[in-house]
Structure 1
Amino acid sequence: MSTAPGPRDRGRERDRDEEGRARNQRPRDGLGRPLPYGAEGVDRQPEGVVRTPEESVAQAQALLDAGRPFHAHEVFEDAWKTGPEAERGLWKGLAQVAVGLTHSARGNTKGGARLLLRGAEAVAEWSATSGLPRPYGIDVAELADWARELSARVAENSDDAVPIDAAAHAPRLRGGTPE
């Protein structure tokens, strides 16, 4: 057990970021789970970053490939919150897919399966409504099929709550095989 001081031991009520907003400063593991203060975690994704859609897709894919879907979710969440209103459904659906993969990798198979399915339906609905089957090179139909299939596999094992390997099950946002 870590003996590093927590926020209250440092004389503060809550952890705060550089702008003074409440933000848990505990280190995180690759799946976004908080670790004890003083433990070594992975670098966190900065919040509120404005990226081009292409940068968002590329950065999220790199994080998914590295087995860090929670962090990919944060990239998609930034795109959802900072992008055009007309694209929010796409980015929100992608964030749900990433967090579904996160929960599945953490062993929360019931929640993971539901979120994967919800994300699949959201991106498919957005694509049908927008008329854009490949926004920013994302093969929406293939991604939605992948998420539905993984949701079904995860749901089959929900009684056992067996975590999946996030990197081994990472989707290819732009289709095809890993580069």
Structure 2
Amino acid sequence: MNDKRDRDEEGRARNARPRDGLGRPLPYGTAGVERQPEGVARRPEETVREAQRLLDAGMPFHAHEVFEDAWKSGPDEERALWRGLAQLAVGLTHGARGNTAGGARLLRRGAGWVDAYGERVPYGIDLDALSAWARALAGRLESADGARVVDAEEEAPRLLGS
């Protein structure tokens, strides 16, 4: 078999193309943004801090990857929290890419996971405010004509409040 797919060091398929700040693949040889390493186990506070840094930089796709690591490596009782946060970040990503319907859908789905999480201020994250942000942005995306793209940096939520 002639497998021409990119592979990581362990031999798993992994696209090595550079990515832009919204996670879109760029042509080989183009300078992209540094990708987040996968499978990093961070303390929850480090996860929130790193994700906020990426959100503030207009890179919600990369923040999604940080949340995804916490979702996959964290304790079972926190999976709804991290999954919801990951979906909020990727919802913002889709909205910024111009996929208003997909962005709105993911923002609402993420808000549902966040709403289902019992503790309302885990690790200092005001989940009620975050859910309200997501639903408001989803509403704006749904009312857009499909051509409007949101600015990921301007729309980035404050995980720990203002």
TM range (shorter): over 0.9
Q: What is the distance in 2 between the residues matched to 1:13 and 1:99?
A: 28
1:160 counterpart (143, 146, 152): 146
1:144 counterpart (108, 125, 131): 131
- For residues 123-169 of structure 1, what are the alpha-carbon distances to aligned partners after superposition, in whole Å with 9 as ceiling and x for unaligned? 0111xxx3x11000000000000000011011110x33311100000
1:46 counterpart (29, 37, 41): 37
Q: What is the distance in 2 between the residues matched to 1:47 and 1:162?
A: 32
Q: What is the distance in 2 between the residues matched to 1:167 and 1:19?
A: 34
Q: What is the distance in 2 between the residues matched to 1:72 and 1:45?
A: 8
Q: Work out whether residues 17 and 26 of structure 2, in 8 Å CA contact, stay in contact via their aligned partners in 1.
A: yes
Tell me the residue number matched to 2:105. Answer: 114
Q: Specify the SS of the correspondent of 2:9.
A: coil
Alignment partner of 1:133 is 2:124: no
Q: What is the distance in 1 between the residues matched to 2:46 and 2:31?
A: 28
- For residues 54-104 of structure 1, what are the alpha-carbon distances to aligned partners after superposition, in whole Å with 9 as ceiling and x for unaligned? 000000000000000000000000000000000000000000000000000
1:173 counterpart (141, 154, 159): 159
Q: What is the distance in 2 between the residues matched to 1:175 and 1:153?
A: 21
Bigger shift: residues 15-24 or 83-92: 15-24
Q: How many Å apart are 1:12 and its aligned residue? A: 5.5
Q: How many Å apart are 1:21 and its aligned residue? A: 1.2
Q: Work out whether residues 19 and 26 of structure 2, in 8 Å CA contact, stay in contact via their aligned partners in 1.
A: yes
Q: Which consecutive residues of structure 2, in runs of 5 or more, have no partner in the other structure?
A: none
> TM-score normalized by structure 1?
0.88
Q: In the alignment, residue 93 of structure 1 is paired with which amino acid? A: G
Q: What is the distance in 2 between the residues matched to 1:56 and 1:160?
A: 32
Tell me the residue number matched to 2:58. Answer: 67
Q: Work out whether residues 115 and 127 of structure 2, in 8 Å CA contact, stay in contact via their aligned partners in 1.
A: yes
Q: Runs of 4+ in structure 1 displaced over 2 angstroms? A: none
Q: Work out whether residues 99 and 146 of structure 2, in 8 Å CA contact, stay in contact via their aligned partners in 1.
A: no
> TM-score normalized by structure 2?
0.97
Q: In the alignment, residue 150 of structure 2 is paired with which amino acid? A: I
Tell me the residue number matched to 1:8. Answer: none
Q: What is the distance in 2 between the residues matched to 1:170 and 1:58?
A: 14
Tell me the residue number matched to 2:88. Answer: 97
Q: Work out whether residues 88 and 110 of structure 2, in 8 Å CA contact, stay in contact via their aligned partners in 1.
A: yes
1:22 counterpart (13, 16, 20): 13
1:36 counterpart (19, 27, 48): 27
